[in-house]
Copies of this chain bind each other. A is one copy, B any other.
């Protein structure tokens, strides 16, 4: 069987890592092309001995990359504002697509992509919610949803807390990200829908504060926020997102049910090492999502490649992202306005 010929759009921190992951951990796929519009990223890519060794062609235009001979699939890892248009272009070019979260911060754009995907059922169009591929989150899902370990699950608490970025990188990118609940809590919202079996939102409220990044005020955003979602049927999810943690990338989830609780990563650890010294007993914490989720990204890439090569269903169809984004937007609106945002019984915003 020939490996899947895949192109990666975007060579930022994430895009570069996906290229590495596909080369090193996805034997059934080959990265045949990459693209970027950033001169520094292009320079790096063109001078990479590894890209040369593994036959990766570097493009400075997304459209040019789509025309790469024999290309079968695209992994979109650019900034959020072009996710939807690039996904549509890939579909139009007859290519399979895996698009990073979030698909868009604009609900109309999201609808268009979902329609295009439906109109092209022969193409695999997948949403990139990487935590769904993490071994621990999957084990939690098996316990909660299959093994009935905790009775009926009804509350999810989930955090995405990033290490404080002192390089300025985060602040530069922030204006395009749609706000803290859309950019940062999106995985947590997705997890709550997963573990609570796709409940329908009823109301939500949020509040936040600015502690380290005053530049975010201009966009009405915050660097720390708490939000609560009430679902129809008596289920609840609540989230804490932060851009300003001192100790590392701290991402945890707790699912409470009628008979118990399952949690993931409530005590984050970089590895198995513990140090005891004059300051007590301590472990280090992974600095970024990548150290925590590298394996998940590899599995995601393998499952996408398998789905395409064997013409099976993708693990996360693109429409899975729609409700996630509706809730993220509502939380962001609640944060901005201070008002409760409500949904009808069908989950439609009121």
Contact = CB atoms under 8 A, between A and B. Distances in A.
Interface of A: 1, 23-25, 27, 53-54, 135-136, 139-140, 143, 149-152, 154-155, 157, 203, 205-212, 224, 226, 228, 230, 234-236, 238, 240, 242, 244-248, 250, 256, 258-285, 338-340
Nearest to A54: B27
Closest 5 CB pairs of A and B: A282-B282, A260-B277, A136-B272, A209-B234, A247-B276
A315 to B, nearest CB: 18
A260 B276 contact: yes
B281 A240 contact: no
B285 A276 contact: yes
A176 to B, nearest CB: 25
A234 B210 contact: yes
A236 B226 contact: yes
Given A136-B271, A273-B136, A247 B157 contact: no
Contacts of A224: 154-155, 236, 256
B273 A263 contact: yes
Given A1-B53, A280-B283, A275 B211 contact: no
> Could you say how many copies of this chain the assembly holds?
4
A212 B25 contact: no
A275 B143 contact: yes
Contacts of A234: 209-211
Contacts of A262: 273-276
Nearest to A338: B203
B276 A263 contact: yes
Given A136-B271, A276-B285, A340-B339, A247 B261 contact: yes
A247 B280 CA distance: 5
Given A27-B24, A209-B234, A340-B338, A281 B273 contact: no
Contacts of A149: 275, 277
B266 A278 contact: no
A274 B283 contact: no
A88 B270 CA distance: 41
B139 A205 contact: no
Given A139-B273, A207-B230, A246-B259, 15 more contacts: A24-B25, A203-B338, A207-B236, A212-B258, A228-B228, A246-B261, A247-B281, A259-B278, A260-B277, A262-B274, A264-B272, A265-B272, A279-B284, A338-B340, A339-B340
Contact of A282 (B203, B244, B280): B280
A247 B259 CA distance: 9
